[in-house]
Structure 1
Amino acid sequence: MEVFIWIVISLLFIGSFIGVIVPVIPDALLLWIGFLLYQFALATTSLGWTFWVPMTLLTLLLIGADLLSNIYFVKKYGGDKWSMLAAVAGIILGPLVLGAFLGPLAIIVGPFLSVFLVELVRSNGAERSLRIAFGTVLAFLSSAAAKIVIQLIMVIWFFFAI
């Protein structure tokens, strides 16, 4: 049974990293389910506040990294709430619509195209629309990189704590 629980914990951690790229997968939640599963199913002693407090702070940083990078880059390149909504739609729909043709690149091309088209329809001109779409891609890539680093810290900390 212990091996099965470790397999589930490992799959939860892997799923959290997939969640960095696939936005419908709740990355932070999967990490926490893995931590709690270990705590209540396998641990003989409590992980303690030296684990739980930093994990809570890192989780807040994980969520904040996503929001802050999107706000920063989209605003820096001239976007607004419509740009952000188009980017989210592109992240979700891009792989579904373009995945067969572009494979993993659809996660980047989808938001780029959706933001570009929304901004173009809003009469922002091709040059400005391209700039905003580029900013959206930078936001996604920077938040993904930050989230991967934060999640790696959390998982490594977990294994040192146990």
Structure 2
Amino acid sequence: MDLLYSVTIGLCFVLSFVAFVYPILPGALFLVLGFVLYGWIYSFHVFTPTLLIIEGISLISLFLVDYASNLYGIKKFGGSKAAAWGSTLGLLIGPFVIPGIGLIIGPFAGAVIGQLITGKQSVGQAIKVGIGSVLGFLGGTVVKALLHVFMIGIFLFYIF
């Protein structure tokens, strides 16, 4: 039974990384689910106040990075709120419409379309905003991946 429990908890952690490819999946929620399953199955005694504070701050950081990175890339390149909304929609839809490359094309196309809808800038400027969206998304993804590894590493340190 221990093997089944460990595999289930590990699967939660793996699914948290799959959320990088399919952003509609709640990656942070899978991380927390893995932690809670461990506590429920084995014991919550390893969840010291220090661990909870570290994991809580890291979890909040995940959400902040997710929100701010894409927005930063768009704003840095002169994008509008419509571009930010378009990029977000493209990020959610793109991977399902064009598996694999849709993760990049979706936010790019969404930001460009959103920017063009405002009618304030040229196609060239809208493309720059799209590039900013992709750069922000990729930068944020790297930071989120590092945070995921950190959170799982700290958790494993505490349970072993």
Q: TM-score w.r.t. structure 1 length?
A: 0.91
Deviation at 1:161, TM superposition (A): 0.5
Match of 2:142 in 1: 145
Q: Secondary structure at the match of 1:15?
A: helix
Q: Distance in 2 between matches of 1:144 and 1:44?
A: 30
CA deviations 1:59-100 (Å, max 9, x no partner) are 01111111121222111111122111111111122122223x
Which segments of structure 1 move beyond 3 Å, counting only runs of 4 or more?
A: none
Q: Distance in 1 between matches of 2:51 and 2:114?
A: 44
Q: How many residues align?
A: 158
1:108 aligns with 2:123: no
Kindly provide the amino acid, as one letter, of the partner of residue 112 in structure 1: F
CA deviations 1:88-142 (Å, max 9, x no partner) are 111122122223xxxx111101111222123234322111101110110011101
Structure 1: stretches of 5+ with no match in the other structure: none
The percentage of counterpart residues that share the same residue type is 28
Deviation at 1:58, TM superposition (A): 0.5
Q: Is the 8 A contact 2:19 2:26 kept in 1?
A: yes
From 136, 146, 160, give the equivalent of 2:133: 136
Q: Which has the higher helix share?
A: 1
Q: Is the 8 A contact 2:22 2:92 kept in 1?
A: yes
Q: Is the 8 A contact 1:2 1:42 kept in 2?
A: no
Q: TM-score w.r.t. structure 2 length?
A: 0.92
Residues 148 and 44 of structure 1: CA distance in aligned 2, closer, same or farther (over 3 Å): closer
Residues 79 and 44 of structure 1: CA distance in aligned 2, closer, same or farther (over 3 Å): closer
Q: What is the RMSD of the two structures over their aligned residues, measured on CA atoms?
A: 1.5
Written as runs of structure 1 = structure 2, the 5 A alignment for 1:1-162 is 1-43=1-43, 45-99=45-99, 104-123=100-119, 124-162=121-159
